[in-house]
Amino acid sequence: MSQPPKFVVIGGVAAGPKVASKIIRLMPEADVTVVEKDEFLSYAGCGLPYYISGVVKEQKELMSTPVGVVRDPVFFQKVKNVHVMNRTEAMEIDRSAKRVRIRNLADGQESWLDYDKLMLATGASPVVPPIPNVKLDNIFSLHGVDDAEGIKALLAENKAKDVVIVGGGLIGVEVTEAMAQRGCRVTIVEMLPQSLGMMDWELARLAEQHMESHGVKVMTSTKVEAFEGDGKVSAVVTDKGTLPADMVVMAIGVRPNVGLAKDAGLDIGETGAIKVDDHMCTSDPDIYAGGDCVESVDLVTGKSCYVPLGSTANKHGRVAAVNICGGDDRFPGVLGSTVCKVFDYCVARTGLTETDAREAGYDVVSVLAPAPDKAHFMPDAKPLLLKLVVDAKTRKLLGAQATGPGVGDRRVDIVAMGITAGMTVDQLANVDICYAPPFSPAMDNIITAANVARNKLDGLMVGVSPMEVHQMQANGKDFVFLDVRSPGEYEQVRLAGSTHIPLGALRGRLDELPKGKEVIAFCKISLRGYEAALILKAAGFENVRVMDGGIVMWPYEKQQ
Any idea which residues carry the catalytic annotation?
Answer: 46
Helix, strand, coil percentages in the chain from 3-state DSSP, rounded to 5? 30, 30, 40
- Could you write out the DSSP letters of every residue in 322-336? HHHTT-------B--
Quote the CA–CA distance of 467 and 453 in Å, as a whole number. Answer: 18
Whole-Å CA distances, 208 to 34, 187, 199, 363, 556? 42, 12, 12, 29, 11
The three-class DSSP label of residue 302 is: coil
Quote the CA–CA distance of 388 and 369 in Å, as a whole number. Answer: 8
The length of the chain, given as a count of residues: 560
- Beta bridge pairs of residue 403: 385
Region of residue 414 (left: phi > 0; alpha: psi -120 to 50; beta: else):
alpha
Between helix 15-26 and helix 310-324 the angle, nearest 10°, is 30
Between helix 201-213 and helix 466-474 the angle, nearest 10°, is 90
Whole-Å CA distances, 468 to 102, 249, 459, 464, 557? 58, 35, 19, 6, 15
The three-class DSSP label of residue 8 is: strand
Quote the CA–CA distance of 343 and 210 in Å, as a whole number. Answer: 8
C-alpha closest to that of 145 among 59, 87, 75, 85 = 59
Instruction: Say if residues 446 and 428 touch (Cβ distance below 8 Å).
Output: yes
H or E element in which residue 202 lies: helix 201-213
C-alpha closest to that of 35 among 92, 90, 106, 117 = 90
